Structure 1
Amino acid sequence: MSKKQFVQNDNNMAIAYYRFSSHAQNEQSIDQQRELAEKYAEEHGLTIVKEYPDEALSGRDDTRPQYQLMLSEIKTIKPAVLILWKTDRLGRDRYDLLIAKKIIRDAGCSIECVAEPFLDPNDPTSIFIEGMLDAQAEYYSANLTQNVMRGLNFNAKNCYYNGVKVFGYTTEDLPITGKGGRHKKVYALDPVTSPVVRRVFEDFAKGKPLQEIIDDLNNQGLRTTKGGLFNPNGLRHILMNRMYLGEYHYGGVVVPDGVPRIIPDDLFEEVQKRFVLNKHKPKAPEARNLEATEPRFWLTGKLFCGECKESMQGISGTSKSGRIHYYYVCKNHRKHKCKLKPVRKEFIEWTVIEILREFLSDQGNLASLAVDVSEYAKRMHSDDTYLKSLQAELAQAKKEIKNIVDAIKQGLVSKALQESLTELETKQDALSDAIDTEKAKLALANNDYGIKHYFEMYAKADFEDDETRRLIFEYFIDKIYVFEDKLIVDMFYSENHVEVSLDAFLASEEYAKESIKDLKFNKGAVFDQNADRSTNSNPIGAICFSWIFYLDNSYEMFVLNCL
């Protein structure tokens, strides 16, 4: 059976398809391709009735929107000619090209290229040449991909910049030895945003909610590397990015100490632990589209079943009268694997607060706490790098505001300018507030008044305030184990929060009873007020102490030396 001959539509209508990929292609740009197509049409007595431009799309992608639209409309339009700059504009996959050209020619449309010779689809020689051009188009793409990947892998192994922007870093030129003055870009610390990264890690490690950090960043006018607002997913990526530990990452290549470090190991690990802890916490009511009056189960993440050691989570139940009751329940109990009954939320949270109140009522403990927290604040806030970055941002905002105001004075008034001015003024106010806050922290950290401030703050701690309660709870409480007749509250007080398992504590309980006898609440037994606190740690190791709270309202405390 002989091959069907191509028959061209008998009219002077033409369509034109333009494309450029993401690579720099000056002569193949859309405007230049259009100019050449229009000139070709004029020379050949054709009228371009429709154009199909695909911008920054690879020729190996057959889902290009304008490309697909052209193929779907060509039978309806019935043009005589499709004008291309070159064959490779239509595609760079020879199989896709075969299918596309069949659809085009079956519609009676001839394919003519401005920069390539005319090929008659009925001529054997043209068929051979066209096959070679299609193969060449695919070869170019495959070869380019191979060369690009080779270059990217070389760059990665040498820790050169591969075009991936990372918040907190900028780039600088590095001379290449023996390459005649050539340079390669490498990552360098951004003096404005790298302190912000450090502050984000510190705030999250201390328990500051993710959304509050996001709001602070956006209100201060800070933007992501793509110029957008910060969001939860983006901030999680920052907080989990090991590049801030100095690790260069690209593809499967990892080079330790390949970039300047921003975050120390211990802070990074603290943040990862915080993510694990938060994973087991229930979402806030507003995040679950519930009424904001629904209570928060703030013990979740540190509350465990004493029987099976599984975590306990918040639930609610409605009584026959329609009243809603809230409980903490063992995760295994819900799976019918544990017999520990649910405990009332109000009761257990009140118990923990009372233990914290009793602990803070001791003047010696309170003084020790104030000294240590003040020392911690000095370490965290005595560095003014973050303040300087805020001040640099403010100076830039003021400069941009001045430029817009000057433009308006000269009569250049537009809606875009007014919107930019409003946005910059909002940014300026947010930065000014942040700078005032940071200055106050620095003043407090570098003044003995800080000790008095923290002493008074904890002495009058308002446990009804969510933030105050959270700070105290996170600082003192390690774990809480729930039994049918008692609670075991493990508390720590050390720079290094040593984890003590329930098994370890119970194994030492008889020893503690023999050593301390039936010691009831002894306010003087927790800390040695004369201990050396210059390093903010106990000289004999981390002091861990546990309260056993019995349902008859009696207390017992056991002190363990957790080396």
Structure 2
Amino acid sequence: MPEPKATTRHHDRPVKRRKRAFIYLRVSSAGQVNTDYDPEGISLPAQRAAILRRALELDAEIAAEFVEPGRSATTVDGRPVFQEMMARLKAEPDIDYVIVYARSRLHRNSIDAAITKRDLRRAGVTLISIMDYTEDNAIGDLVATVLDGVNEYQSRAAGADIAYKMGQKIVRGGSVGRAPIGYLNIREKFEGREVRTVAVDPVRGPLVRMAFELYASGSYGFHALIQALTDAGLRTKPTRRYPTGMPISINSLGNLLRDRYYLGLVEYRGIEYQGRHEPLITPEVFDRVQQMLESRRAGGVRERTHNHYLKGTVWCARCQRRLMVMRGKSKTGDLHFYYFCRGRQLHSCDLPYLPIAKVETAVLDNYATVALPADLRERIAATVKEMLIGSAETQKEIRARVSAHLKELNAKEDRFLDLVGEPDWPQDKIAARLRDIRDERGRLARQLDEDETERLDAARETLTYLLELLTDPQELYRQASKRGRRALDQTCFAKQYLDDDGNGPYVAADELADLVSPLVNHARNESGAAPMGGAALGSSKNPLVEVPGIEPGSFVVSSGLLRAQLTMPLLAPTDHMSKSV
């Protein structure tokens, strides 16, 4: 009797495992995401739909989706999501496929492509590309290598082409990229074409201009300026994370105040070109801001917890170091603030601790030494009036010389432009010379455009403000607010050197600010007062130059007028003595 055939029960049959896949989606820039009502834009959903159709054809289960928006594929180092996917492939051995829309979505670098192919094969994973031929055989490897090389070439060629065209746009005065705060990227119609350009932001532009002018006045540090700008309504441009913008940061403010774009200039490869956008500030204000930034950096003034209006202007008469503020607590628990010399901590100076209230009194007393007698004020006003009247006769000759100099600068610029791109010439030096030439040419061109009458009126107005300030500066200082006192300090003094003779602090010497130095030194010379500059201290620093008379060139009209005008409104009386700090 034949034996019955063996049968296999259904539950004994080996179960076929369903394939599992990772899918990877990528776009190169954030701009490709922000192009539709869908927060992912158009490209990412389109890639996902095509990938899901292929996964359905392969009967593959989607184990995980990896999305990388706004990332370039020229290198894998800057793509954290891609790195995460490769790490999970090593940790999860049951993944069969990585499905992408195109090989270019995965990488545009042939070396990275080869490394990725090696890692996928070691993990037993097959790469599936919707748009490319991806058979896992010799022909497939050849096609993949060619495609990866073509993708890299296209990426590099497109990058070089875009860089060249963007460079040419800058050379012609255009702006590329996102406009800085104070400007807006706009599109306008020009001769039937849509042109992308930059226009002044009607909301933020005036506030950026105000930032420069306030800082140029010398009355604001970064913290106070940020507070003033925030109160005035300045906020950064809206973003997805901050739809209403944010107050400007200290780093952003520092970069803003140094950015020559606000002068109407654009830069390409170290060379500046005149931009097509409207300048927000004048070169005079910009230069004054740079001087303030440099002087405060050199002086080491930092706005910290113990801020006081005399910080940065009071110095030690014994070792010529800047005085700093400290606080102390009495036995009763009361807080007191002092100025002290850093040299005392270093055991190189014996200046005692100076109570802030007494330092304020000493500085107030010193203001009596900068007052101008009434007869001198009258003589100065009469002399300068005659000078201003007589100067009008020389303007024709000056304008002729300026015009000739402009022609020379134009010719010199042409010669340097011919050298741009020549490998035998140092491009950094050429760029520096071109910048100097354009700055000088711009200054001379503005000088020709200026109405001499307005300049003379500005000089007269500056002198009027100064004479008013120096009529009774001690009483003016006594009645001023803290902000007003700081403005007046920076208008009248570069430094005030303090000492203590046992009876309390006093100003042993001072260095006058450039704006008032000619007037006050002239008054001190006439009165026979003892020298108050560096010579009075025996300092190694050069003393101030004695001015025998009042010269027309002694006043920097634009910056002087700006400082004088911004100082006067700050001198309103207030109860400034209620607090020491």
TM-score, structure 1 normalization = 0.61
Which residue is 1:234 aligned to?
A: 252
Change (3 A) 1:93 1:71: same
Matched with 1:13 is 20
* Equivalent residues of 2:183, 2:199 under 8 A apart: yes
1:48 aligns with 62
Change (3 A) 1:82 1:487: same
Q: In the alignment, residue 282 of structure 2 is paired with which amino acid?
A: P
In structure 1, the residue matched to 2:428 is none
44-53 vs 9-18, greater mean Cα deviation: 9-18
User: Which runs of 5 or more structure 1 residues have no equivalent in the other structure?
Assistant: 1-8, 289-293, 369-444, 446-450, 521-537, 544-563
Name 1:74's counterpart in structure 2: 89
1:462-496 per-position Cα deviation (integer Å, ceiling 9, x unaligned): 5694223223322332322356876123445x8x4
Alpha carbons of 1:222 and 1:94: their partners in 2 closer, same or farther (altered >3 Å)? same
Query: 2:280 aligned to 262, 265, 283, which one?
Result: 262
SS for the counterpart of 2:485 is helix
- Alpha-carbon separation, structure 1, partners of 2:516 and 2:20: 79
Q: Structure 1 residues 297, 11: CA separation in 2 closer, same or farther (over 3 Å shift)?
A: same
Match of 2:354?
344
Q: 1:45 aligns to what SS in structure 2?
A: coil
Specify whether residues 365 and 71 from structure 1 end up closer, same or farther in structure 2 by C-alpha distance, changes over 3 A only: farther
State the match for 2:421 in structure 1: none
What is the SS of the residue equivalent to 2:280? coil
Aligned to 1:185: 196
Task: Give the drift of 1:77.
Answer: 5.3
| Aligned AA (1:153) | G
CA shift at 1:36, angstroms?
0.6
Deviations 1:407-433 (A, max 9, x none): xxxxxxxxxxxxxxxxxxxxxxxxxxx
Deviations 1:149-180 (A, max 9, x none): 1121111111212123112223566788xxx8
Q: Which residue of 2 aligns with 1:106?
A: 122
Letter in 1 for 2:25: Y
Aligned pairs for 1:307-322 within 5 A:
309-314=320-325
Match of 1:476 among 492, 502, 507: 492
- Give the aligned partner of residue 217 of structure 1: 229
CA distance in 1: counterparts of 2:114 and 2:215, whole angstroms: 56
Gapped runs of 5+ residues in structure 2?
Answer: 1-15, 36-40, 239-244, 380-460, 462-466, 502-506, 532-549, 556-581
**Alpha-carbon distance, 1:93 to partner:** 1.5
What one-letter code is carried by the residue in structure 1 that aligns with 2:122? Answer: D
Separation (CA, whole Å) in 2 of partners of 1:246 and 1:47:
58
Q: 1:47-66 CA distances to partner (integer Å, 9 max, x unpaired)?
A: 22221111111112314232
Give the SS at the match of 1:102: helix
Q: Structure 1 61/364 Cα, relative in aligned 2: closer, same or farther at 3 Å? A: farther
In structure 1, give the amino acid aligned to 2:235.
R
Higher mean C-alpha deviation, range 42-51 or range 324-333: 324-333
Letter in 2 for 1:152: M
CA deviation map 1:365-422 (0-9, x unaligned): 9999xxxxxxxxxxxxxxxxxxxxxxxxxxxxxxxxxxxxxxxxxxxxxxxxxxxxxx
- After superposition, residues 223-302 of structure 1 pair within 5 angstroms as 223-226=235-238, 227-250=245-268, 252-256=270-274, 259-279=277-297, 280-284=299-303, 287-288=304-305, 296-302=307-313
Structure 2 match to 1:126: 140
The alpha carbon displacement at 1:21 in A equals: 0.9
Amino acid at match of 1:200: A
Assess if the C-alpha contact under 8 Å between 2:170 and 2:268 holds in 1: yes
| In structure 1, C-alpha distance between the alignment counterparts of 2:116 and 2:351, rounded to whole Å | 69
- Could you tell me whether the CA contact under 8 Å between 1:15 and 1:79 is conserved in 2? yes
> Please, which moves more after superposition, 221-230 or 357-366?
357-366
Match 1:38 to one of 33, 52, 58: 52
Does the 8 A contact of 2:18 with 2:59 survive in 1? Answer: no
Structure 1 pair 222/540, CA: closer, same or farther in 2 (3 Å)? closer
In structure 2, relative to structure 1, the CA distance for the partners of 1:308 and 1:219 (3 Å cut) is closer
Normalised by the size of structure 2, how large is the TM-score?
Answer: 0.59
AA aligned opposite 2:150: Q
Give the drift of 1:186. Answer: 3.4
Q: Is the CA contact (8 Å cut-off) linking 2:492 and 2:516 kept in structure 1?
A: no
1:149 alignment partner in structure 2:
163
Letter paired with 1:223: R
| Partner Cα separation in structure 2 for residue 366 and residue 198 of structure 1 | 35
Across the two proteins, how many residue pairs are aligned to each other? 414
Distance in 2 of aligned mates of 1:308 and 1:215? 35
RMSD of aligned residue pairs (Cα, Å): 4.6
**1:417 counterpart residue number:** none
Answer yes or no: is the 8 Å Cα contact 1:14–1:79 preserved in 2: yes
Classify 1:233/1:465 alpha carbon distance in 2 versus 1 (closer, same or farther; 3 Å). same
Q: Deviations over 1:489-515 (max 9, x none)?
A: 3445x8x45599xxx98xx99x93xx5
Going from structure 1 to structure 2, the CA distance change for 1:356 and 1:325 (only over 3 Å counts) comes to same
Partner of 1:118, secondary structure, is: coil
The structure with the greater share of residues assigned to helix is 2
Letter matched to residue 146 of structure 1 = A
Deviation at 1:190, TM superposition (A): 3.1
Contact 1:327 1:344 in 2 (8 A): yes
Separation in 1 of the partners of 2:512 and 2:197?
A: 46
* Greater Cα shift, 317-326 or 156-165: 317-326
Match 1:65 to one of 62, 66, 80? 80
CA distance in structure 2 between the partners assigned to 1:341 and 1:457 by the alignment = 28
Q: Does the CA-based 8 Å contact 2:316-2:497 persist in structure 1?
A: yes
Deviation of 1:352 (Å) = 0.8
**Distance in 2 separating the partners of 1:224 and 1:64:** 28
Cα distance change on mapping 1:498 and 1:119 into 2, 3 Å: farther
* Identity percentage of aligned residues: 22
Q: Which residue of 2 aligns with 1:488?
A: 509
Counterpart residue identity of residue 14, structure 1: A
One-letter code aligned to 2:182: G
Against the structure 1 CA distance between its residues 323 and 50, is the aligned structure 2 distance closer, same or farther, given a 3 Å change threshold? closer
